[in-house]
Structure 1
């Protein structure tokens, strides 16, 4: 990891995982340090890339993309070049929210979003049917978003 974290750093990170817009005063209260000390620590955490990204999490129910799909993708050839090509294709596709290279039955698991089934079908054509290295893919349609998050239990 490279950066030593103490209890105050962990307290700051726990609060920021819940709401990255939390003010320095609230962070100061959470970890028991002065505002200037917290400000320096937050800067160090960002500079060291322990805080990889700060984003707004949108409510998909309020937008046109109301469907979520979990797709297991099996490739025909698994050379480093072919794996990298698929990674790049998945990263470039805005409807792919997450992409994992995995062990087991599939080579990749994708979390995708779409407006409806027709929109998802168009996505499958772009990502899978037009890619001669995709052997097969299996799709599960989510019924409910029981838990969504990227927080770490620190």
Structure 2
């Protein structure tokens, strides 16, 4: 469901995505509204699930998760129950950072963190080898992170902006 957002809502979302810990006073000054008006807008954005949460970004290497893997997973049977079962299983695994149900060769693409190759091998046992519905999986080891963002663009098209 697309929520009707005006330019100020989108500007607030951009500012909050840059730093969710900004004070209401700072945000209000940047969008030319009162603190109370900004607070109401943010509450509305949360209540309507435009803002779904606030997190702290952690440097993976600093906590010993130095390796990142991109894993393409093909299921043997693609019934809805089998797809849901794998989706649930992947979402319960803390090392799986992102999981996408996809079209094409792979049914799922996962972004996975691990301490080292031995740690990744243990994860593959839990997620793939012990699952009779996994046809195959292919792993790419990330050699370096050129760019990474979880920021969602809010002004992708002038046609979608309400005044």
Which one has more relative contact order, counting CA pairs under 8 Å at least 6 apart? 2
> Secondary structure, in 3 states, of the residue corresponding to 2:105?
coil
Aligned length: 154
1:8 aligns with 2:15: no
TM-score, length-scaled by structure 2: 0.92
RMSD of the alignment, in Å? Answer: 0.9
Deviation at 1:102, TM superposition (A): 0.2
Q: Aligned pair 1:23/2:23, yes or no?
A: yes
- Deviations 1:8-58 (Å, cap 9, x if unpaired)? 111100001111111111211221111110011111111111001110010
Q: Aligned-pair distance for 1:86?
A: 0.3
1:49 aligns with 2:26: no
SS in 1 for 2:119: helix
| 1:2, distance to aligned residue in structure 2 (A) | 5.3
1:73-100 residue CA offsets vs partner (Å, 9 max, x unmatched): 0000000000000000000101100000
Residue equivalent to 1:75:
75
| Of 24-33 and 109-118, the range deviating more from structure 2 | 24-33
- 1:63 maps to 63
Structure 1 gap ranges (5+): none
Distance in 1, Cα, partners of 2:2 & 2:75: 35
Structure 1 window deviating more from structure 2 (29-38 vs 109-118): it is 29-38
Secondary structure, counterpart of 1:21 in structure 2: coil
2:51 aligned counterpart, secondary structure:
coil
Q: Does 78-87 or 13-22 show the bigger shift?
A: 13-22
Distance across 1 between alignment mates of 2:73 and 2:2: 34
Normalised by the length of structure 1, the TM-score is: 0.97
CA distance in 1, matches of 2:99, 2:73: 10
> Can you give the 5+ residue segments of structure 2 that lack an aligned partner in the other structure?
155-163
* Paired residue secondary structure (1:140): strand
State the Cα deviation string for residues 107-131 of structure 1 (Å, max 9, x = none): 0000000000000000000000000
Give 4+ residue runs of structure 1 displaced > 2 Å after superposition. none
